[in-house]
Amino acid sequence: NLVRAAMGVEEGSGYLSNQATQMALVETVIQAAIDNGIYVIVDWHDHNAQNHKTQAIDFFKQIAQKYGASPNIIYETFNEPLQVDWASVVKPYHVDVVAAIRAIDSKNVIVLGTPTWSQDVDVAANNPVSGSNLCYTLHYYAATHKQSLRDKTTAALNTKACIFVTEYGTVSADGNGGVDSTSAQEWWTFLENNK
């Protein structure tokens, strides 16, 4: 069993505006997951995390110090990078955030967001971040993302990269329309065959 605790980041009502309140909320979810024997993905839910790296490092250091000894913790350091370059923007961000976490927690899984709303897993896998227990984030919505995204995922898997789906839907990426049962089943079969 697994739950994703998304730390909303953007100014207005997120971590950047009210760190103490937002930290208390996410810690409530983390502690409940631990108390119930459930894995918890602690997600820095940001599309522009490269602009908030200092805050992300501070956040993950706090989480690692308080909860890193628990095997329930999974870190997700960058929800969905937009259409930005992996090598010059996203990877350097991950290198720094991973280093901050690993200085405290050497074991728990860290999931790394990939460009284009966490769909360019092949690009990341071909220029990986060094370290252990690192996975690359894949997000898909069955009515929007079809075989071409599965092909990109297969290419990443062929490099022996770890791919972790932290978000998906059975409808279109914009949340509209009906459930695409056929595509959803194709995705579930693909994931089952590649676990």
Active site residues: 80, 167
Please state whether beta strands 134-141 and 163-169 pair in parallel, antiparallel, or not at all (unpaired): parallel
Q: Shortest CA distance to 122 belongs to which of 165, 155, 85?
A: 155
The CB-side HSE value for 30 (13 A sphere, CA atoms) comes to 24
